[in-house]
Structure 1
């Protein structure tokens, strides 16, 4: 896992090269909506893509993580299905429904049943490297291919390519400092339950961090977004009071936080500190949204790896997840 995280910037570069080399035709009907279908490490890429394109696309984007598609999916829908293995049960279920609804479908996977369906139906398929590691370590490959599919569909202009190159440069420039910051943050979160707070815009980055803490460090974490948490969760820091000393609140700050969310962060911090709760902060670096997203993702991946070491667990082990998949395959 360490080598995979270390090579994240190179993964982004390889993903760009792959995207540029593809010859994909998605210039079908004038799309009225986009659905990003996927689960787990593949599914979070859909959330990140949606956040990035929110102010760039003129059609709504939905991220779907279950067995079913909403009723509005039809002939003017673009469904981008992502599954690293190509065999994810829930994603394949959505693929079949999308094809029945006569939606335009495109795939991102390393093969499996998804590749078979793509070849049998002449459906665009961007292929992931089979030796790239577990899905959660291949976020760069999957997210970049999703952006290229949106580009090939005529929905996303060329500007994202410049931001991708800038993101790669930033990660390479900040490689050393990211590790130092990640090691310190891991020490602060060790033996505690991380409470991750971010503005709604960057909620997918916080969710990705939570997932990496879960799978790599085998550690529970809680995520919530501003301003929503100010309407409910702020009242919960009373009971059970004995848990407070085992919690670690982390603010994830970016240049894209709403000004009112920043104001709320300060007010919530004051309330928490009055209750004796320390609040940690991480500030994103980068001139663009994509740079800040990838900076935080890379930083938090390192944190999850360092925490795995402190927790004395194998970050590559996902036996419980694998057990569930094996049992489900029997039914």
Structure 2
């Protein structure tokens, strides 16, 4: 049985202690006294960031998906050609040295875009100060992925007038994080849904999601790779029903995980029922994870919390330290 001693033995940097602080960190940085910022005449927002920083763009894009503003998420080197003086580029690099993010930020300035950057320091800080770009320093705790709530809620704080999220929805999301913590944190290692999911995973997870919850699914795939050092796949459930589902006709060690929203669109709920029937009839073991009630912010952030903690537990159960990312460091050293 997993206990604190085992967590400490394998999670040598104490990542789980940062995860335990997520509700507190979200609240702290949403109310942090950052210098306010104003941008006028914006009809297009581009979020740019990679890895843990990139998750933030996915979450904010989900929040803005029903707003009257065009949103793009860039994970790479290229700024959309449609970006212009009415475009706000939001660059996030927790480490402050992400070459892709810095490249997009440089392209944004050359294209005459408005811009703001968030980092713990590094080249992003130096470049922003040199080019007189709005920059806000946000701390790094343990790793970019563990720092997720600090960055997300700092951005919601600083850009509250631009990213139209109601204060009620932000407060609700933090309140839900506190409730989720009681179920999944290291303080409760019995009847813990994150731990139970980690114990269930033995093969390669295939994570199915509806479009609105894409941010949580992609994040889970990435966290399983970074923390637990395992392969994982993520597929939009609608698209999978037109192609990917056929692959289940062959035996494999893949394990389907269904990421469902409490109030998914009616047709989506019907589809989930059909998929579960298909897996049951074909004796394919699967598990379904449902979001909390509330706003899209509450749903996505709390799913990320539960699923990130699952990836950490999966690492420890496999006697793996979740923090080191040697393969990523191999690539980064050669991309400088």
Above 0.5 in TM-score? yes
Whole-angstrom CA distance in 2 between matches of 1:6 and 1:150:
26
Where does residue 318 of structure 2 map in the other structure? 311
Partner of 1:75: 85
Offset at residue 66 of structure 1 (A): 0.6
Deviation at 1:52, TM superposition (A): 1.2
Q: Which has the higher contact order (CA 8 A, sep 6+)?
A: 2
Query: Please, which of 238, 247, 258 is the counterpart of residue 254 of structure 2?
Result: 247
Q: Secondary structure at the match of 2:249?
A: coil
Distance 1:66 1:146 in 2: 21
Check if 1:299 corresponds to 2:306: yes
Q: Quick check: 1:182 aligned with 2:189? A: no
Pick aligned residue for 1:323 from 327, 330, 333:
330
- Matching residue within 159, 167, 174 for 1:168: 174
CA contact (8 A) 1:108 1:127 kept: yes
SS at structure 2 position matched to 1:70:
coil
**Kept in 2: contact 1:49–1:146 (CA 8 A):** no
* Alpha carbons of structure 1 residues 164 and 319: separation in structure 2 relative to 1, 3 Å: same
How far the C-alpha of 1:11 sits from its partner, in A, is 1.3
Query: 2:52 corresponds to which residue?
Result: 41
Change (3 A) 1:300 1:158: closer
| Aligned ranges 1:112-151 → 2 under 5 Å | 112-130=122-140, 132-151=141-160
With over 3 angstroms needed to count, the CA separation of the structure-2 counterparts of 1:291 and 1:275, relative to structure 1, is same
Gaps of 5+ in 1: none
Pair 176,155 (structure 1): closer, same or farther in 2 beyond 3 Å: closer
Structure 2 Cα separation of the partners of residues 27 and 70 of structure 1: 20
Mapped to 1, the partners of 2:147 and 2:129 lie a distance apart of 23
Q: Any conservation in 1 of the 2:29–2:154 contact (CA below 8 Å)?
A: yes
Work out the CA distance in 2 between the residues paired with 1:204 and 1:171.
17
In 1, the alpha carbon distance for the partners of 2:54 and 2:163 equals: 20
Q: Which residue of structure 1 lines up, in the alignment, with residue 276 of structure 2? A: 269
Give the drift of 1:294.
1.9
Q: How many residues align?
A: 316
SS at match of 2:73: strand
Name the structure 1 match of 2:27: 13
Pairing 1:286–2:298 present = no
Deviations along 1:32-77, one digit per CA (max 9) or x if unpaired, are 211001111101110111001212x311100001111111111111
1:196 is paired with a residue whose SS is strand
What is the Cα deviation at residue 324 of structure 1? Answer: 1.3
Q: Relative to 1, partners in 2 of residues 1:47 and 1:326: Cα closer, same or farther, differing over 3 Å?
A: same
105, 110, 116: which one aligns with 1:100: 110
